[in-house]
Amino acid sequence: MTAPTWTQPELYLAQRLVREGLNTDQVSKELEKAGCRRTQQAVRRLIQRKRKSENGWHAMVAESPVKYDQQPMTVEGDFLALADVHAPLHDAAFANLCIGEALRLAVPNVILAGDLVNLDALCFWGNESEAIAEQDIIATEQILGVLAHEFEYVYWFAGNHDLRIARRLDRAVRMQRLFNLFVRAPNVIVSDFLWCWADSGERRYRVTHPGTRSRHATWVAKDLCSIHNCSVICGHGHGWGMTKDVSGRHFAIDSGIVADPRKILYSLKRDTRDPKMLQGAVIVRNGLPRLLCPETLGVAA
């Protein structure tokens, strides 16, 4: 006597049970509960046949219970990139010149590329400068207020100094929520990522505060260009410069700092082989970058 053909509903149920890790005896019993009388041998033959002709007839690894739906920010249009402001160690005169130049050119967006706030008071290595965190917070709020007033959108992501708050809290609170403690305007957009996309003209930039730094300006940016196949603007290195990556298609930029190097005490108190910190910022219009520095903005060196 020929065994009855498996119906489509029976196949669906049998495959689901197999994927859940049930053995042939258990599959047979579950099919019977559903009104499908199939012997254990019939189930075994079905599985053997199906495994030869199609995928998916085996116990399946379950989906990860961890859900991660966060996405980096994407900036649309021309922008001014300011990195390493280190408020309240910022150079107000240089910052205002950068802002004025961007507004003169009708640049609508500003990206704060990490280390907006200094927070020496929360430094793991000790509060060498005897700073007060409240002073840092007040200065940061004032800078954000100015930028939110003058630009259509302000995009802010963390650097290692900004993360000092999260580290002190053992990362119990997301950085995005902590950032909102500083924000008083709806056009300030914050992120848990330490980088963002920025699309200007036909060119995509990755603006980042990387975990790696080099004594040589643009070296980290060039490596990141190759990894991400786009132009890169880096903070964190405190260097200043622009070149092309090895492909010759992408810009590799170290933006420089908006902080006043004379106020960064750790670099003044101890000699290192690190190069001199250089002030700078970047304006990108129609996809093309322009490096700013005190000299090009009319400030004496």
Residues 126-174 pLDDT 10s: 555 556 777 888 899 999 999 999 999 999 998 887 777 766 655 545 6
Residue 131 is assigned to a structural domain of this protein: yes
- Which residue range is the domain that position 24 belongs to? 8-53
Nearest-angstrom CA–CA distance, 16 and 225:
45
Residue 241 is assigned to a structural domain of this protein: yes
Nearest-angstrom CA–CA distance, 128 and 119:
11
Q: What is the pLDDT of residue 4?
A: 80
Within this chain, do residues 45 and 159 fall inside the same structural domain, yes or no?
no
Within this chain, do residues 92 and 19 fall inside the same structural domain, yes or no?
no
Within this chain, do residues 274 and 189 fall inside the same structural domain, yes or no?
yes
Within this chain, do residues 128 and 205 fall inside the same structural domain, yes or no?
yes
Within this chain, do residues 49 and 170 fall inside the same structural domain, yes or no?
no
* Segment among 83-87, 112-116, 170-174 with least mean pLDDT: 170-174
Residue 301 is assigned to a structural domain of this protein: no
Residue 48 is assigned to a structural domain of this protein: yes
Calculate what percentage of the chain has a pLDDT beyond 90.
69
Give how many domains the chain has, as a whole number.
2
* Mean pLDDT computed over every residue of the chain: 89
Within this chain, do residues 156 and 18 fall inside the same structural domain, yes or no?
no
Residues 199-251 pLDDT 10s: 999 999 999 999 998 989 999 999 999 999 999 999 999 999 999 999 999 99
Supply the CATH number for residue 226's domain: 3.60.21.10
pLDDT band, very low/low/confident/very high, at 175 (cuts 50, 70, 90): low
